Structure 1
């Protein structure tokens, strides 16, 4: 059963992270290994967070990924160039929200898509904390 393609929300900023394919990403089947995509989902979310929030905020809060779901649609080969991750966030639910990621090749074709459930935690205690209301507007479309 084919999954519906994730589409960015009109009210959310779409953060784009260029991705490099390195030799160690290639598996015995000659394409990017599935486990690399999990890292890319995390990298996209972390880069978005780091790009939009100041050091004081990043020192106070941290995010913990508690669930990943990935659909692999088209293999990425060793010579692929122009690969990007496009990411945006969903609606907060207490300390949680989903982050959506599309991995696209240099021609804009969807190669993989994923959802990671993230939990906001106090960086000192590592205890979950409700996402502050003033945090979400930072992820809104500008």
Structure 2
């Protein structure tokens, strides 16, 4: 099962640049988490967000090409599958001008009840929002 792709576009800020004059690897990881949050917030109500949260179980990330200050980038993310309390999300970071993939990532997330922080089976009301 692959859900609809969510996209976010922006320009690489100076604050993302490291001593090698390109985007720092840790920044890419932050962008992976940021776009996942934006996707979640774009599809869910405040009531849902006040009831449930996600935590990362692991990230697998591949760095393909560098990005530089003022590059235009597109972040794409989608849910690859759900099972029980887990969800696998994929992300691509793409240079908008050249269409080169800069980063590809796969993240395993665990769905939790916000109040108890205990794992919760992902209900159909949530999965249907991301198809």
Q: One fold, TM greater than 0.5?
A: yes
Between Structure 1 and Structure 2, the one with more helix by share is 2
1:20 matches 2:11: yes
Q: Deviations over 1:76-126 (max 9, x none)?
A: 011312x11100002111111111000001222211110111111000111
The question of whether the paired residues in 1 share the 8 Å contact of 2:13 and 2:70 is answered with no
1:106 matches 2:96: yes
Counterpart CA distance in 2 for 1:46 and 1:20 is 19
C-alpha displacement at 1:133, in angstroms?
2.0
Q: Which runs of 5+ in 1 are unaligned?
A: 1-8
Counterpart CA distance in 2 for 1:60 and 1:124 is 7
Q: Which runs of 4+ in 1 moved over 2 A?
A: none
TM-score, length basis structure 2 = 0.94
SS at match of 2:83: coil
C-alpha displacement at 1:12, in angstroms?
1.4
TM-score, length basis structure 1 = 0.87
1:40 matches 2:35: no
Partner residue in 2 for 1:5: none
C-alpha displacement at 1:61, in angstroms?
0.3
Counterpart CA distance in 2 for 1:138 and 1:18 is 22
SS at match of 2:82: coil
Backbone CA RMSD of aligned residues: 1.2
C-alpha displacement at 1:64, in angstroms?
0.5
SS at match of 1:135: helix
